[in-house]
Structure 1
Amino acid sequence: MLPAQHKRAAAFIKNLKAPAARQELPDDGVSGLYLIIQPSGALSWAVRTKVGGRPVKVTLGRYDEEGSGLGRIERPSRTQVLNITQARDLAVKVKKDAERDHDPRLLRAEKSSLQYWFDEFLRTARSTGFKGKPVKASTADEYERIIETDIKPHWKHVTDIRTIDDRDVKTLIDKLPSGAQRNAFALLSTFFRWKPVIRFIGKNVIELADAPPKPQSRDRVLSHDEIKAVWNAATACDYPFGALVKLLLLTGQRRDEIANLKWSELSETFDTITFEGSRTKNGRAHIVPLPQLATTIIKALAERPRVAISPGKMSDYVFTTIGTTPFSGFSNGKIALEKHCDPALPDWHLHDLRRTVSTELAKLRVTQEVTEAILNHKSGKVSGVAAIYNRYEYADEKREALNLWADRLQQIVIDRPRPKLVASQ
């Protein structure tokens, strides 16, 4: 065993003889630290610890009496040299990382990889955030979706994050559809302006990249025939996308707010949704009264077997395929739905359903204040100073308006027999 006292340990190592077979000498100074002696006489440091309850062994570096000359060694490396003090300090750091379930072997191998930094970025977003508080859960989920769907598939060739420059950003953005370009660029702006990334790369990559042009504002509103086509297609679609689309069309809520809906956000009778401020785009708590047709859809979903996330624990997400995360396969879901659309719909997005609901509410003579309360959207008639003083929630009016819209929607989608033509005499 290596003595805990530095000078005695150094003298002990100096007098070691090459063994006939590989040996490991435990250190008396730091539990789990070993000096490995090879028959060739080569000496190296390793630490044994546990990650997630499983034992792991991490090579810290080679032994050298003088060490690397650096005051602090940040991560393990087979090529670096460590004296006794450096090896003990690094062993303590590695063990602390392991206690936080950060596999030090991966930290060593992937510190420069894109995957490592995206993982750290998402972990920071959910824990401490970038401005002193965690980002909203829905925002972090959207970060993860953009990374997995729009960025990583196009940057498979990147093996070291330090090789990325503004040309890689431009090439990536050019490959994306117009609707995804600005979202991806906004995420990369946050990512490459994050101080740990700047320190590691040595520059701010995004400074030289041009932001994609702002997309033109859409004004697409579905006609009654198109509303009927979408509703019937949603009826033909499997869980979860069909029911999700129907609730979007019945309530006018934002796509992610319904897609991320939790059973705990629903009232016992399934006739009300209560969103906390952390779940909404504007940070305002929002109550959505559900018409009977929406309640019927949710009751049918409640009768389905819930997805388990662990033995005896069911997922809280209403729309999910794996239990631990909400449904996010919108592109594939829309493709599947469009196969059932008759007639086919030209150039439409899920967000058009929200605009369509707003337009149909206006046709039903619902006031703008109530419509904005339903949409949780304070940018129109009730805004500015008026919004500050108007704290009325329009609860009864919202329920009445959504009931009117549900009745009208049922009239739109019902199949009526065509009148028979009578031949003239």
Structure 2
Amino acid sequence: MPSPIPGQFKKAAAFINNLKPATARQEIPDSTQSGLYLVVQPSGALSWAVRTKIDGKASKVTIGRYDEVGSADDRIGILISSTQALNVTQARIIAERVRNDAKRGNDPRQQKIDRTGLAAWFDDFVKTARTQGFKGRAVKASTGDEYERIIATNIKPHWNHVTDIRTLDYRDIEKLLYKLTPGARRNAFAVLSAFFRWKPVARAIGRNIIELATAPGKPISRDRVLTHDEIKIVWKAAEKCGYPFGPMTQLLLLTGQRRDEIAELKWSEISDDLTAITLEASRTKNSRPHIVPIAPLAKTIIKALPRIADADGKPSEYVFTTTATTPFSGFSNGKKALDKHCGEPALPEWHLHDLRRTCATELARLGIKQEVTEAILNHKTGKVSGVAAIYNRYEYQEEKRDALEQWANRGQAITANNVTMLKKSG
């Protein structure tokens, strides 16, 4: 048998280049990495193989073909392939990885999609988040729903080509983020940060690739408030949009609540007399239960909503839905339709969240006390804070109802045709 390959790279490359193929297949052991062999075929073809034990049985794993220069892709070797080009240094690194995988009981040749495909990993990630969490406590139901929505909407569609999680690196993350809008970019990065820090994923890839990716910049604080003319345009456009996005937009403006709190509204959360919405702590951003009084105008909108039923005729539990089984989630298409109905010229860039800010601003114009507005918005902080917040448990229910009724009346006047605005009486 020929002498082992020398340890230094240049000498090893020179040794290999001087090899002459024999009439029979040869396996030349490497002098540096245990278990690594250079396989020389009678035809002169050169390949790398690792001999190790997998599940207690002696096995041979072909890890690539020999190439003096090797591959310039630093992701080489994440997947074991007999066609990848490896120089001496790369072959030694991959051989060590193969042997370590085998010691942990993992078959390095196993590349079934059901074990390494993204869909299975993301499903397990969401399931873990909902059942046990990553810090000893399961995430809130709304957070789990948000994980699922972001993965389905902003991540999976752009990674359909990925069949093995081990092929991903930070460049794939940055390419994905580049395709998204700023808001979606930050949401996707937050989910991917948790995903790639999750121990099973980090172990499968061998490193936490999110650490090398460039994080999106911090969001620029928005202060967009719709003018009265813009409120009227949006309101009329919402009427043209129809169910579910149109009336949902109108309720967002009238109640000042967060987008998902209204979009995911259930019939069971609305009182029988249609005078209040009651949200449990699990449904609010600050994890506090919240009661939203329903003004007469909002009540009229809710009474006119259809009750969607599933294929078996069972009424949906959701107020806004297109499937009867899940709440409305088509915000991107809904917003595009709404903007189209707004007509030309288009309104300056605005988001659904601006309706919440507009509601708060209009309440201030009506002379509503800040602490009442904070209670309507269900903010943790505000004018009542510190020791006062600890002892002041008053919920301002009557004040909230009066304030939202005033705002609904003002909104109705703003959106009506040929109506002169009246000053608020003393």
Which residue in the other structure is 1:356 paired with? 358
Q: Deviations over 1:356-404 (max 9, x none)?
A: 0000000000000000000001222122333222211000000000000
Does the CA contact (< 8 Å) of 1:113 and 1:160 recur in 2?
A: yes
**1:277 aligned residue (278, 281, 288):** 281
Shift of 1:137: 2.0
The answer on whether the counterparts of 1:220 and 1:352 sit within 8 Å (CA) in structure 2 is yes
Pairwise mapping of residues 9-24 of structure 1 onto structure 2 (< 5 A)? none
Three-state SS of the structure 2 residue aligned to 1:288 is strand
Amino acid at match of 2:134: F
Superposed CA RMSD: 1.9
Q: Is the 8 A contact 2:307 2:319 kept in 1?
A: no
Q: Distance in 2 between matches of 1:417 and 1:357?
A: 20
SS across alignment from 2:380: coil
**Aligned residue runs from structure 1 range 12-411, under 5 A:** 68-69=55-56, 109-301=113-305, 304-308=306-310, 311=312, 313-342=314-343, 344-411=346-413
Structure 1 gap ranges (5+): 1-65, 71-106, 419-425
Give distance in 1, aligned partners of 2:396 and 2:365: 19
User: Which residue identity does 1:330 align to in structure 2?
Assistant: F
Match of 2:4 in 1: none
Measure how far apart 1:264 and its partner are.
0.8
**Cα distance per residue 1:272-322 (max 9 Å; x no partner):** 000011000000110000101111111111xx24222x6363321111111
Q: Secondary structure at the match of 2:160?
A: coil
Instruction: Check the 8 A contact 2:113/2:164 in 1, yes or no.
Output: no
Q: One-letter code of the match for 1:374?
A: I
Q: Distance between the aligned counterparts of 2:274 and 2:243, measured in 1?
A: 18
Letter in 2 for 1:339: K
Deviations 1:111-148 (CA, angstroms, capped at 9, x unpaired): 10011101111122222222333322222221112111
C-alpha separation between the residues in 1 aligned to 2:176 and 2:415?
Answer: 42
Verify the 8 A CA contact 1:307 1:321 in the aligned structure 2. Answer: no
Partner of 2:11 in structure 1?
Answer: none
Give the whole-Å Cα distance in 2 for the aligned partners of 1:109 and 1:401.
56
- C-alpha displacement of 1:223: 0.1
Structure 2: unaligned runs, 5 residues or longer: 1-52, 58-110, 421-426
Number of residues of Structure 1 aligned to a counterpart in Structure 2: 314
| Alpha-carbon separation, structure 1, partners of 2:399 and 2:281 | 21
Give CA deviations for 1:234-270 in whole Å, capped at 9, x if unaligned.
0111210001000001000000000000011110111
Change in CA separation of 1:417 and 1:323 when aligned onto 2, cut-off 3 Å: closer
Runs of 4+ with deviation above 3 angstroms: 310-313
Partners of 2:202 and 2:391 in 1: CA distance: 44
Task: Provide the rounded CA distance (Å) in 2 between the counterparts of 1:136 and 1:352.
Answer: 25
Deviation at 1:182, TM superposition (A): 1.0
One-letter amino acid matched to 2:263 = A
8 Å Cα contact 1:277/1:285 also seen in 2? yes
Corresponding residue SS for 1:314: coil
Q: Whole-Å Cα distance in 1 between the matches of residues 326 and 202 of structure 2?
A: 30
Q: Secondary structure at the match of 2:285?
A: coil
Is the CA contact 1:260–1:326 (under 8 Å) kept in the aligned structure 2?
yes
- The alpha-carbon deviation at position 108 of structure 1 amounts to 5.6
TM-score, scaled relative to structure 1? 0.71
Residues of 2 paired with 1:67 and 1:167: CA distance? 33
Deviations along 1:78-123, whole A, 9 cap, x unmatched?
A: xxxxxxxxxxxxxxxxxxxxxxxxxxxxx96421001110111112
Residue 209 of structure 1 deviates from its aligned partner by 1.6
Q: Say if 2:422 is the partner of 1:414.
A: no
Structure 1: how far apart are the matches of 2:322 and 2:223? 33
CA contact (8 A) 1:138 1:256 kept: no
C-alpha distance in structure 1 between counterparts of 2:375 and 2:207, whole Å: 45
For residue 287 of structure 1, give the secondary structure of its aligned residue in structure 2. strand
For 2:196 and 2:174, the matched residues in 1 are separated by 14
- Quick one: structure 1 residues 305 and 267, their matched pair in 2 at CA, closer, same or farther if it must change by over 3 Å? closer
Counterpart CA distance in 2 for 1:375 and 1:351 is: 12
